[in-house]
Amino acid sequence: MGRINNDGSRLSPAQWLKQKALVAGRWVTKEALEGIGAKPVMTFFDVLASFEAQRKAEEDAQFRESAAFETMVQGLDRQQGDLWSKTVRDLVQVMTSRTGVAGVPVVLIIDDGQFCCSDRDESIPRFANDLWRAAHEASLPLLMVVTHWSGDWNRLAADDDRSLASKLILRCPPLKRTELRLTGGDDLTALINAALPELSSEDANYLRTQAEGSPRILKELVQKVCDSPYWMEDNQLSADAKSEIATHHGEVDKWIRERILRHADPRVRQTLALAARQGMEFLVPMVEEAAAELKLDLIPAAPALDQAETNLCAISATNDVEAMFANRAYWNCSRELLGKATPSAVKVGAALSRAAAALQADPLRWRALAPHQQLAVNQMVINVSQEVAP
């Protein structure tokens, strides 16, 4: 079973394999076959596919290590650094009094400060630290308002100066720091009654207190109770249920992860993973381009994201160009799907980098993006470049 050459001569299977393998950049040698883990029962086409996969992996590595890519990343890094410093400088200038002009007070509000830590997002703590230090040294009128889960406050305060909580405690003197504790409002009762109408008022108050006024956390708690029949005894929460709920601050991600794995279509999980690789906010077309690059059989990104928004409440603010995760808990859980629902995070990152390079090289498509969308693409490329390839 050979193949006919262009001149009419017949090639033996071995000759044909060598010729085709050369197209994939490989001589068929013992070392080459060992390099792809070839087995005696592999077909010619399996060998060729393995050669091609190996070649593509090497091209990815070369792309990430190339001088052109390094130059591009360094340029983007400088742009991001300049933007970071410029934002701090601009805010300081706004707060600084000048001759005949009073400085304008600045109020900086940071929501969900518990996600600003070393294992989640270190960028906001660094930005807040730089701004606070500049304002403190010059006695400028800056008020920083941070919301934070109280259950995580003490744990993150000891995060070796890498969380927002630790930076606030280290940098902000007690006399300039005021802690306010909020209680859940009665308006959240309707959410509990709709899902657990028979629950006692005492236990309903307990759930509200544990949620610390957050509808998102309360929804996850209520959903977990509904999914765990053994938690209920005569319409009351069992002792075991309360014991587990008491530690819910570290379990919310786990509960969300369980729900995504249990209820989400596998292709929706792939879409969430590709989106999460870009960041909290992401471009929808980049999800589809990365999927095509990785040869993933996805449903179109828009319907998949609609399902994620409607059925999982994982996505919000969706349109044809950009979308964002509902909160960092959903983003973190979706990032954990990388390497499970999709190829590894590094391979997905490489695919996104190539898609970004193609986007930046197309003037019409690049100019069609809003400045904040271009910034998001640049930041994603920088983040990917800082990873170590396997």
The model's pLDDT over 327-351, given as tens digits with 9 standing for 90+, comes to 888 888 898 888 888 888 888 988 9
Same domain, 163 and 192: no
Instruction: Express each pLDDT in 259-293 by its tens digit.
Output: 888 888 889 999 999 999 988 889 898 998 899 88
Q: Is 91 part of a structural domain of the chain?
A: no
Residues comprising the chain, all counted:
390
What does the pLDDT average to over 292-315? 86
The per-residue pLDDT of the chain, averaged, comes to: 76
Q: Cα(273)–Cα(331) distance, rounded to whole angstroms?
A: 9
pLDDT confidence tier of residue 6, bands split at 50, 70 and 90: very low
Same domain, 177 and 212: no
Same domain, 221 and 294: no
Same domain, 246 and 272: no
**CB-based contacts of 144, cutoff 8 Å, min separation 6:** 107, 108, 110, 128, 131, 132, 168
Q: Is the pLDDT of residue 112 over 70?
A: yes
Same domain, 117 and 158: yes
Q: Is 218 part of a structural domain of the chain?
A: yes
Query: 250, 274, 290 — which closes off a domain?
Result: 250
Q: Is 46 part of a structural domain of the chain?
A: no
Asked which of 6-20, 104-118, 294-308 is least confident by mean pLDDT, the reply is 6-20
Query: 181, 208, 224 — which closes off a domain?
Result: 181
Q: Given this model, what pLDDT does residue 270 score? A: 92
What does the pLDDT average to over 164-174? 75
Q: Cα(382)–Cα(390) distance, rounded to whole angstroms?
A: 18
Q: Is 339 part of a structural domain of the chain?
A: yes
Same domain, 170 and 266: no
Single-letter amino acid code for the residue at 253: D
Q: Given this model, what pLDDT does residue 127 score? A: 81
Q: Is the pLDDT of residue 152 over 50?
A: yes
Same domain, 280 and 370: yes
Same domain, 161 and 195: no
Q: Ranked by mean pLDDT, which of 103-117, 213-227, 328-342 comes out on top?
A: 328-342
Q: Is the pLDDT of residue 229 over 60?
A: yes
Q: Given this model, what pLDDT does residue 146 score? A: 86
Q: Is 131 part of a structural domain of the chain?
A: yes
pLDDT confidence tier of residue 78, bands split at 50, 70 and 90: low
Same domain, 243 and 318: no
Count: domains in the chain: 4
Query: 231, 250, 269 — which closes off a domain?
Result: 250
Q: Given this model, what pLDDT does residue 30 score? A: 62
Q: Which residue has the higher pLDDT, 166 or 65?
A: 166
Same domain, 356 and 283: yes
Q: Is the pTM of this model over 0.85?
A: no
Q: Given this model, what pLDDT does residue 268 score? A: 92
Burial of 130 (0-12, 13-18, 19+ CB in 10 A): middle
Helix (H, G, I), strand (E, B) or coil at 11: strand
Same domain, 154 and 205: no
Q: Is 347 part of a structural domain of the chain?
A: yes
Instruction: Express each pLDDT in 15-44 by its tens digit.
Output: 555 555 554 455 556 666 666 666 665 665
Q: Is 52 part of a structural domain of the chain?
A: no
Same domain, 112 and 208: no
What are the CB-based long-range contacts (under 8 Å, 24+) for 223-227?
223/195, 223/255, 223/259, 224/255, 225/195, 225/196, 225/199, 226/195, 226/196, 227/258, 227/259
Range of the domain at 208: 186-250
